[in-house]
Structure 1
Amino acid sequence: MSATDMKIEQAALDWLVRVNDPAFDQWDAWEAWLAADARHAETYWRLAEAEGEAVEALKSAPPRRAAPVIRRGVQFPLPRRAVMAAAVGALAVGLGWIGWTQTPRPWSVETAPGEQRTVSLADGSKITLDGGTRLSMDRRKPREVTLEGGRALFDVVHDDARPFIVGVGEAILTDLGTVFDVTHLQNGARVAVSEGSVRVDARGDTATLNPGDSVVASPRGLERRPVDIEAVDDWREGRLSWNGERLDVVAQDLARALNRPIRIAPALAGRSFSGSLNIGPDARDQRERIALLLGVTVIEDGEGWRLEP
């Protein structure tokens, strides 16, 4: 091992110990160190995995027998009470260390309405957040993400040994080597794949999506439909595209893009729509264009917009 590699490993060990401290709060500095050199992240996560394996080994290891006391060459076993006290103490220390090293290290990323942000993860994966979006993660489980609201595009570095998992509502998405778009809906989730594949598990149903596949997971089940691969990330350029999408889902996309509540009449909710719309800064102009595009009446009330037949 070179002197540079030794320095990196020592620094990684130092960060690992510090991150395990419940009082640790230097997350920005930790992220900057990981991003500064690919070897930093590789070394850190290798040591973190070794630590995790050690924790599992400690949990499953059989209890060690107490050592006897030796006096003048004669061995006397420790008194029963002393043995019990030592065992309880060792167990408490072991369980305490396990709990300490496995304590979640949560963090979240949130964007304001109209803001977009790209987050780079230690393994090279990237997540682009749309406006009004919130992600939660655990620094001890860097390949598990929860989309709590909004929309995000995932560009994932595939790893057979460590699948990338996204939780959204009641759905669990597992990366199979992928670029995919995920939207948190009021009653479920929407997933569209432009590269690779994703497994979707929701409410007992399972579907594997390939490029050009999209699915809405809702109380109605998994509703599949095709999607234009080139249009999967159009929202990053301010353009919304739909292909056979339900109007209640279209309304949610518009509400997030325009940062205003948009409700839809029950009679319109199940109607399907195909088309696209460029989102501009003039809300009044958008209102008229939406009415023409969707073939609806857009009513402005004190709570936002309401789409009526």
Structure 2
Amino acid sequence: MQADTNAEARAIEWLIRQRDPLFDDWDGFADWLAENPAHNAIYESIASLDRDLDALPAAPPASVVIVPDAPRRPSRRAWFGGAMAAALVGAVSLSSLNPFGNENRIETAAGEHRTIALDDGSRIEINGASVVEIDKDRPRFARLESGEAMFHVVHRDNDPFVVETGDARIVDLGTAFNVVRRDRQTSVAVSEGIVLYNPDRDKVRLVAGKGIEARDGDRQPPVVRDVDVASIGGWRSGLLVYNGTPLAVVAEDLKRTAGMQVSIAPEAADLSFRGALIIDKNRSRTIADLAALSGTRAERQGEGWILTR
């Protein structure tokens, strides 16, 4: 069952990549198909579902903030361009983030993405519905109050970069890593290099391809788990990948990343989701994917949707 799930996720990844007009890894795709006779059938099943979803009626997209003149790359379903525009990707100066408030506190609205460049060359990509605080007196420090951010840190041997969130302290050893803060829980996933999680207490060392889920007050160090490097920070390009995640968490991610309002009916509250979601410009396609792959039914509810069993 796990092998089939991994193959389905890989098939979805190939399908997404092939939407890019510049895709040229056909040899790699052919090699993957040849690895297992089941791969071809799984890919064809996913592709068939994708074609069926194309026939669904469009719904007005959720309200998002768009950067004027944001670069877009055309594709069959405006995958990269539409996702990027809906996500609002833009590098901005610190002084322009909150012109009428505290310039050291960056707050994003649901569906809004920001990238800030720090003086040391590091940068922070901030997902929607998130709050990040920096300190002009501590240029190698950031605090994620809530939400999600991807950190790309310039390493300095004698001056580590520190990220705080909740009661956790994450120390960089030259890396790129994604942090999520929700409901007294912290998730960390490393895509490059190494980080130390709570070096003064838990002493958990995370290398590329590893992640943790930790809850405030846990007496034991969090268990290190394997993470697909390609999926870390996927929200930046509109790809969310899950492995047995509660639907409520998926709904929270959709609100943060795409500004989508998704509710879970009580009878579906115990369901989990395993697979990959594309944040499509047509939000109805995204919710249809989620419903089809989670065994639920999606119904319009005001400006959003509700998933029922």
- TM-score normalised according to structure 2 size: 0.58
**Following TM superposition, by how much is the alpha carbon of 1:121 offset from its aligned partner in structure 2, in angstroms?**
0.9
SS across alignment from 1:196: strand
Q: Note the 1:147-158 alignment, pairs <5 A.
A: 147-158=144-155
Do the aligned residues in 1 keep the contact of 2:262 with 2:304 (CA within 8 Å)? yes
What are the ranges of 5 or more consecutive residues in structure 1 without an aligned counterpart? 1-26, 30-104
* 1:98 aligned residue: none
Aligned-partner Cα distance in 2 for 1:203–1:217: 16
1:213-292 matches, within 5 Å, as: 213-219=210-216, 221=218, 222-264=222-264, 273-292=273-292
Determine the structure 2 residue equivalent to 1:146.
Answer: 143
From the superposition, tell whether residues 209 and 247 of structure 1 become closer, same or farther in structure 2 (CA, over 3 Å).
farther
Q: Larger helix proportion, structure 1 or 2?
A: 1
Aligned residue type for 1:218: R
Q: Does structure 1 retain, via aligned residues, the 8 Å contact 2:298–2:306?
A: yes
Question: Where does residue 53 of structure 1 map in the other structure?
Answer: none
Higher relative contact order (CA closer than 8 Å, sequence separation 6+): 2
Partners of 1:281 and 1:147 lie apart in 2 by 28
Tell me the SS of whatever aligns to 1:147: strand
Q: Distance in 2 between matches of 1:266 and 1:214?
A: 30
Q: Is the 8 A contact 1:171 1:188 kept in 2?
A: no
Q: CA offsets, 1:97-136, max 9 Å, x none?
A: xxxxxxxx97122333333222111111111112333211
Give 1:242 shift: 2.2
Question: In structure 1, how many angstroms separate the alpha carbons of the residues matched to 2:165 and 2:270?
Answer: 22
Distance in 1 between residues matched to 2:156 and 2:229, nearest whole Å: 23
| Residue in 2 that maps onto 1:16 | none
Tell me the SS of whatever aligns to 1:235: helix
For 1:288, give the aligned amino acid.
Answer: A
1:304 deviates by: 5.2
Query: C-alpha distance in 2, partners of 1:120/1:134?
Result: 16
Tell me the equivalent position of 2:117.
Answer: 120
d(CA) in 1 for partners of 2:254, 2:149? 15
Aligned residues: 208
Partner SS for 1:176: strand
Asked whether the 8 Å contact 2:127–2:236 carries over to 1, the reply is: yes
Q: Residues 170 and 302 (structure 1 numbering): CA distance in 2 closer, same or farther, change over 3 Å?
A: farther
- Indicate the structure (1 or 2) with the bigger Cα radius of gyration: 1
Q: Please tell me whether the aligned partners of residues 246 and 272 of structure 2 are also in contact (alpha carbons under 8 angstroms).
A: yes
Structure 1 position 263, deviation (Å): 4.3
In 1: Cα distance, 2:200 partner to 2:262 partner:
27
1:111·1:131 contact (CA, 8 Å) conserved in 2?
Answer: yes
2:110–2:255 CA contact under 8 A, matched in 1: no
Instruction: Pick the aligned partner of 1:168 from 153, 165, 168.
Output: 165
Q: Distance in 1 between matches of 2:274 and 2:205?
A: 23
How do 1:56-205 residues align onto structure 2 when only pairs under 5 Å count? 107-201=104-198, 205=202
Pair 153,264 (structure 1): closer, same or farther in 2 beyond 3 Å: same
Greater alpha carbon shift after TM alignment, 173-182 vs 163-172: 163-172
1-side partners of 2:158 and 2:197: how far apart?
A: 19
How high is the sequence identity, in percent, across the aligned residues?
A: 38
User: In 2 relative to 1, CA 242–276 (structure 1 residues): closer, same or farther, beyond 3 Å?
Assistant: same
CA RMSD of aligned residues (A): 3.1
> CA, structure 1 residues 285+154, in 2 after alignment: closer, same or farther (shift >3 Å)?
same
CA distance change for structure 1 residues 108 and 184 in 2, over 3 Å: closer, same or farther?
A: same
Q: CA deviation at 1:157?
A: 1.0
**CA 1:273–1:199 in 2, change beyond 3 Å: closer, same or farther?**
farther
Deviation of 1:276 after TM superposition, in Å, equals 0.9
The 1:118–1:298 alpha-carbon spacing in structure 2 relative to 1, beyond 3 Å, is same
Query: Residues 252 and 183 from structure 1, CA distance in 2 versus in 1: closer, same or farther, beyond 3 angstroms?
Result: same
SS at match of 2:177: strand
Cα deviations across residues 17-76 of structure 1 (Å, max 9, x unaligned)?
Answer: xxxxxxxxxx849xxxxxxxxxxxxxxxxxxxxxxxxxxxxxxxxxxxxxxxxxxxxxxx
**5+ residue gaps in structure 2?**
1-93, 97-101
| Cα drift, residue 145 of structure 1 | 0.6
- Tell me the distance in 2 between the aligned counterparts of 1:111 and 1:304: 20
Query: 1:238: Cα distance to partner?
Result: 1.2
Alignment check: 8 A CA contact 1:169 1:184 kept = yes
Q: CA deviation at 1:243?
A: 3.4
Q: Find the residue that maps to 2:111 and give its secondary structure.
A: coil
